[in-house]
Every structure is written in C-alpha cells, then in structure tokens.
Amino acid sequence: MTSNNLAEIEKARTVLKETGKSLLPSALRAVNKTLPGVRTDFTKAIRGEIRLTAADVRGVIDILKAHVERTKGEGAIRLRGKRLSLMKFRPKPTQTKAGVKAGVKTVGRKTLLKHAFIATMNSGHEGVFWRARAAGGKFVQRLPIQELFGPDVPTVAAYEGVLGQVLSQAAMRYYAAYAHELDRDLDRILKR
C-alpha cells in the first residue's frame, strides 16, 4: 500500500462524506471482494506446510460475507474440520514389511510408522491403523485397532508463519479493493 493510495482513499472519503453518502456500502463490497482471495491465500499457505490437495484444504474453509443487516459490516473466513486420516495426505502412505511410510509435512521424508498397516473397512473407508497397546505396552494380537491421523487444517492455519503471511496479504487485498470501490462510488457521484 503506497502513500499515494492512502491519500486517494482519504480524498475520496472526504468527497463522499460531503455529499452525504455512506461509506459502508463501499467497505462491505471491498470486504466481500477480499474474502475469496484470502481463502486462496490460506489454501496456498496451508499447502506449504502439509501435504494436502487444494480441494481438501478449500473444502474446510467457509466464507461468511459481510452484510449490513446481519453482521454489522464484518466478513469472516471460518476454518472448520477435524483431524484428517493419513490417507488424505499426498503422496499416499505406502505399506512396507516394517510398517507404513507416511508423510504429513511438506519438508522432509516420509516417516516409517512401525507396526502400522493400511486397511479398508467394511464401509469402504481406507485408513492407516495399528493395533491398540495392552497394559504392558505390547500390541494386542487382533482387536481393537486405532486409526492414525494427521493434523487438522485449523491447527495448521494457526501456525505463526501461516497466519502472519495470510493476514498481511489480506490487508493489502482489502486496501486495494476499498480504494477501487471508493473510486467507483466517487465516479458515480461526479457523473450525476
């Protein structure tokens, strides 16, 4: 955001106030134009941390648009979700003699999960499992089994690097959209 843009925004705000027009519609439109870009930024930043597809990340990010009657002019991005099965991460985990090799983080190699195995349940759900441990710390012979999970998307989004990067980009996106919307309203007023 340059100082020229800030000066132009202040000039447009002054003119709009003098004409008695509200600045709220411009701000709401700017917020609503900013939110899809913020979702994209979150998707890219999260995918930079963990090995998920963009569709899996985008699927748990909701946009709550700003509306003057509903939210007092506030828009939001909501991240929802639960811990994800290791089978969602790419490349998929592979079965070896010693266990399962799976990777969650984008940096580094896959990790060997000893004694783990890949199984498909009767429901069709495929996952990485291992047998529960008995009181002595040894694995049980057959059942119960426990599924292994990776992190959930909201936890990864809360990482300091991810959140800071997305918030700085969101501010730049908002100011650019707000300046554009103020110019649009100013042009409409001056043409009348």
pLDDT tens digits for range 44-102 = 999 999 999 999 999 999 999 998 776 677 889 999 988 999 999 999 999 999 999 99
More confidently predicted of 14 and 34:
34
Q: Which domain holds residue 118?
A: 86-150
**pLDDT given at position 68:** 78
pLDDT-wise least confident of 3-12, 16-25, 67-76: 3-12
Average pLDDT score over residue span 3-28: 73
**pLDDT given at position 192:** 62
Q: 66 with 14, same domain?
A: yes
Residue 62, CA distances (Å) to 40, 89, 122, 171, 190 in order:
11, 21, 32, 19, 37
Q: 35 with 67, same domain?
A: yes
Q: 51 with 75, same domain?
A: yes
Residue keyed to tokens 């399962």: 100
- Asked if residue 79 lies in contact with residue 157, where contact means CB atoms within 8 angstroms, the answer is yes
Q: 56 with 144, same domain?
A: no
**pLDDT given at position 64:** 92
Q: 14 with 69, same domain?
A: yes
